[in-house]
Chains A and B, each alone.
Chain A
Amino acid sequence: MNICDMDKKSIHILFLLILTNLFPASAQQIGFGMYADSGINLSALVPDVLDFGDRIGGEGPVSILLSDNETVVLEIEGIAYLDVTVNITPPVSEYLLLQGNSNFLGDPERRLPVTIKMAYYNRGQENIDIQTAKQQAIEVTGHNATFQIRRRPGGPPGPPPTPPHSGYTPPVAKAYLFIYGDLTVNNVNSGSYTGIVDVHVEYTTYE
């Protein structure tokens, strides 16, 4: 190897680095949701209130399990092949408050710690009964999840979907969201304790 050959090799490497910076890897991911102009229908089925029922003061932790009838059921209807991102916002500071009064947020005798959980079913089976959907639901860790409205069957991904255009109606499917959770009933004042759980669903854009 002579000195002239070494110089040529160095110049080559420098060029490759510049090219890599110009084309970041994220450009390979296509966010079909960015172009979805059809809405998502989000509706509450029965029950639409996460009701922990009558509790005895000081009885400690109580739970509404995914399989329980008290679990809130939400229906998400949208374009079957698109991903949706679901965010749930639990009650403020994760407390149910006596009479829903925010003045009691700092009062241990007028608040109940609550943990809100969720699971989703997206296998796309039409008219599935809710109990079966619960059994097949996927429990989520945390308060947000991204999933396809109708889960892709096993195997490699199919071809890209037909983009929305005039005269074309994309396939619609339903997914189900289940809201449940845990409550700790300490020695608190008697009365009605409430809190609001906000649920937001949108098509995932990956941007």
Chain B
Amino acid sequence: MLLALPLILEAQNQEGTGTSISISASATVIGGDIELITISDMGVLDASRLQEGMEVYINPIFDAEAGIMRASGTPNAELRVSYLADMEVTRREGPGSLFFTYEVSGSPGDNQRESELLTETERELRFNNEGVFYFWIGGRVDLSNAQPGNYDGEFTIEIEYM
């Protein structure tokens, strides 16, 4: 027993020897949900401003009537956007429809005048450093054969990560 005691003390003195290093493990998830919300609808159906037979055009970059949408996703991630430019809108009160041709502009900042017209059906864009991207929705509709009434339509936009 007298021989064993010094060995035990020696081992305790060696505790904490050696060396350590820390390494980081990481991953970036870019394919999580993209949230798309409508901030304001397009104002094309404001009846007081419409007349039968006219063509209505809402410029997505300059007109206040443009609809606004905001996409939220991964900061600085590239995204691909596509949308259906031609859409039939139907008359609520009965028979009748119109064809609406959408125009869309986009920007990573909340500044309509600085947005860029997305003329191609598929574009490569990028979220800003807060993971946000804005869209302004305008377009053109010919009312020359339109019947009086209210028209409802949809706008289909597809956003995905690159």
Contact = CB atoms under 8 A, between A and B. Distances in A.
A190 B27 contact: no
Nearest to A23: B3
B17 interface: yes
B7 interface: yes
A199 B25 contact: no
Interface string B16-32: 01111111111111111
A190 B69 CA distance: 20
B23 A50 contact: yes
B67 interface: no
Contacts of A54: 27-30
Contacts of A50: 23-26
Contacts, number: 139
B77 A114 contact: no
A52 interface: yes
Contact of A193 (B14, B29, B33): B29
B161 interface: yes
A96 interface: yes
A53 B27 CA distance: 5
How extensive is the interface on chain A, given as a class? 35 or more
A96 B85 CA distance: 42
Contacts of A57: 29-33
Interface in B22-58: 22-33
A174 B3 CA distance: 35
B129 to A, nearest CB: 12
A195 B3 CA distance: 46
Interface of A: 22, 27, 31, 33-34, 39-44, 48-59, 72, 74, 84-85, 91, 96, 112, 114, 116, 179, 181, 183, 185, 187-203, 205, 207
Interface of B: 1, 4, 7-8, 10-11, 14, 17-33, 73-75, 77, 131, 161
Given A53-B28, A195-B26, A196-B22, 8 more contacts: A52-B26, A55-B30, A179-B23, A185-B27, A191-B28, A192-B26, A196-B25, A201-B18
